[in-house]
Amino acid sequence: MEKTLIWGIELIKTIQTIESPTLTAIMKIITSLGSEFAYLAIIPLVYWCVDERKGVRLGVTLLLSAWLNSFLKAVWRQPRPYDMDPSVGRALENSPGLPSGHAQGSMTFWGLVGSWMKAPFGLTLAIALPLLIGFTRIYLGVHFPTDVLVGWLLGGGVLVVYFLFGDRLGRILSASNIRVQLLIIVAVAFLMNALHPEDTSLGGVFFGLGAGYLLMQAKFPFSARLGADGQTAKAASLVIRYLLGLAVSAALYLGLKKVFPSETSSSYALFRFLRYGLVGAWVSAGAPWVFLRLKLVGIKA
């Protein structure tokens, strides 16, 4: 394994021979398309303004993929290239390196998004962005080439499972009693936290997003495509939805972080789960309810 890592560092150094300040800045912009902040901006956009069903599927699939990545990082705890050779570091991360979260997440996220778009644009997006994002991780010296390769393979595996079983599982869940659906959400969130207690945020978002979606479907089933008049939503209302929804999401995330116990507290994991759960519930249920009250969205027929 050490020989593989040494080879990886040599490859990173070879790639960095083309380095320039401008190119590094471009690489950092591209790599941001595989960050959690990009996903946090795009998933609500899809859910609130495009198609709520696709939005929740995208969110759940990415969350499960991200949890798998975080779990494997904690198991393998492989150092990053700059831990072995500081000269290659062009950015810093606060987690182990294997597998690459950017590579896995971008393959999962953009692969799914691309499948909803018309060819050849969708296919190009699904292939090009994960490849570019993965390359930036190597260029920036934050991942070995093998980290990126494993990330791509895991992301591709998540997509295969989704395309083979996603629709079937969705039909089964839709036909189930809401109590059964909620019980499944609780069980999955519990397992996520039990197997990986170091990070309760992903389990929290999963629980909040899923439970909120069930509440929305049962009490006020909104349609992201419709305005309050039952017609196709106008651009202005879509913009207001998105900006208002994101503003409250940010206020919840940052505000609760300030008032909830810090990392030094023994109850930090619980309150971290609660904070992320409330943000997830806001996205799937709270925001749509507010949009309905403000007449920015329509109810499904």
* Per-residue model confidence as pLDDT tens digits over 140-194: 999 999 999 999 999 999 999 999 998 898 888 888 899 999 999 999 999 999 9
Predicted model pTM:
0.93
Could you tell me which residues come within 8 angstroms of residue 252 by beta carbon, excluding any fewer than 6 positions away? 275, 278, 279, 282
Residue 10 is predicted with a pLDDT of 95
Other Cβ atoms closer than 10 A to 51: 16
Q: In angstroms, what CA-CA distances link 24 with 27, 103, 105, 181, 265?
A: 5, 18, 21, 46, 39
- Amino acid 36: pLDDT: 85
Residues of the chain falling short of pLDDT 50 = none
What integer pLDDT is reported at residue 228 of this predicted model?
86
